[in-house]
């Protein structure tokens, strides 16, 4: 699947995920494909260093907490386990590594999650921010959802917040100017 770099577990993982875009993939599959036990590290690298929008079952579960209609929730897979993953789209975001670096620098357990989310979106307007980034930003908790709700309540426009954006799957958000 990854002929140019078949000895690399990371290359095998992304080749497999790209062949499974939009499909929930269990960790057992990923461990076999990667051929290593440390595949979670490779997933993190693919997200943070290479810009692939890979979302975990935990972040997908958080999407179900967004204040949207029951109809909109149908776009979010139900029953995804925490140890399952999904490549949201076959698109490598070249700006994501910069955002992930900023995300790590902005993380502050003493800061209000809602403020962190607002500041992060305002720092990167018109960019494709993933639910996984927001979850990481607030210490891997569900509080990022409230940050999106606050931005919407203040009159800001966030593509993807209704889970039905035309140009992106659920789990990708874009703050519009």
pLDDT at 171: 94
120 burial via Cβ count (<10 Å: 0-12, 13-18, 19+): buried
Which pLDDT value is given to residue 111? 95
Element of type H or E holding 86: strand 84-87
List the pLDDT tens digit at each of the 177 positions of the chain: 444 545 688 898 999 999 999 999 998 898 888 877 778 888 999 999 999 999 999 999 999 999 888 888 888 888 889 989 999 999 999 999 999 999 999 999 999 999 999 999 999 999 999 999 999 999 999 999 999 999 999 999 999 998 877 778 899 999 998
Q: How far is CA 58 from CA 69, 73, 95, 155, in A?
A: 20, 16, 23, 28
What pLDDT score does 6 carry? 56
Residue 135: per-residue pLDDT: 97
pLDDT the model gives residue 3? 47
Q: Residue 44 is encoded by which pair of tokens? A: 């993190």
For residue 147, the surrounding DSSP H or E stretch is: helix 144-153
Separation CA 114–CA 81 (nearest Å): 26
Tell me the CB-side half-sphere exposure of residue 174, using CA atoms within 13 A.
14
**Residues 6 or more apart from 4 whose CB is under 8 A from it?**
11
Alpha carbon 158 to chain centroid, angstroms: 15
């Amino acid at each position: 699947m990854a002929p140019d770099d078949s000895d690399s577990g990371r290359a095998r993982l992304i080749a497999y995920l790209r062949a499974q875009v939009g499909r929930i993939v269990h960790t057992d599959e990923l461990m076999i494909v990667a051929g290593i036990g440390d595949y979670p590290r490779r997933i993190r690298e693919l997200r943070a260093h290479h810009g692939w929008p890979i979302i975990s079952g935990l972040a997908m579960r958080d999407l179900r907490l967004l204040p949207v209609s029951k109809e909109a929730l149908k776009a979010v897979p139900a029953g995804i386990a925490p140890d399952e993953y999904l490549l949201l789209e076959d698109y490598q975001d070249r700006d994501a590594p910069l955002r992930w670096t900023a995300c790590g620098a902005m993380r502050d357990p003493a800061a209000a999650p809602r403020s962190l989310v607002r500041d992060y979106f305002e720092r990167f307007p018109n960019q494709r921010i993933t639910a996984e980034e927001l979850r990481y930003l607030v210490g891997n908790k569900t509080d990022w959802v409230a940050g999106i709700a606050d931005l919407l309540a203040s009159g800001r426009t966030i593509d993807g917040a209704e889970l039905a954006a035309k140009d992106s799957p659920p789990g990708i958000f874009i703050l519009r100017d």
